[in-house]
Structure 1
Amino acid sequence: MAAYLVPQVMAYAGVDGLPPVAGLWAILPALALYALLGSSRLLSVGPESMTALMTATVVAPLAAGDPARYATLTAALAVTVGWCCAARAGGR
């Protein structure tokens, strides 16, 4: 799994305009949380190309070429989507 996951997260971070190491730091907590809280042993958890492209499409115009602002906006978007998913799951 790590053989394809590591280059994949680094590439998707690059697609989003972030340094490749940002992909590595983003996937570690996500995998750990899913291992603790996930409900399926068969589900594959990892980045998706469509998510990277949608994030880049939303964040790039707002960041105006500033890498620090890009990283901040990307993190804010990820946290917001996470909270929305958690709120929806809590309502079930």
Structure 2
Amino acid sequence: MFVTSKPAIVTCAFLSVASSLVSTGASAVTVEVAKKCDLLVAKAFPPREPGNPAAGSAKGTAQDQRSYFSKCVANGGNMDGGADKDTK
């Protein structure tokens, strides 16, 4: 038989409720936004050789693609035009 004390059970219950109420402030990216941004990145940075993603991009670098994707996600999947103005 297990011997438990009432204050320990109350403390555990309080901590579990308190931890569930604390918000982290970060929101998850929805699948729709991620897919839309992935398509926009593919459109803005076409591959050097179609069908061969290892060949690299015809425009910009991998860092440019990551920053474009992050910007797209931050805007909720709404980008105002083509690729970034500062792409090389």
TM-score calculated relative to the size of structure 2: 0.35
User: Which has a greater percent of helix?
Assistant: 1
User: Which has a greater percent of strand?
Assistant: 2
Instruction: Tell which structure's C-alpha radius of gyration is larger.
Output: 2
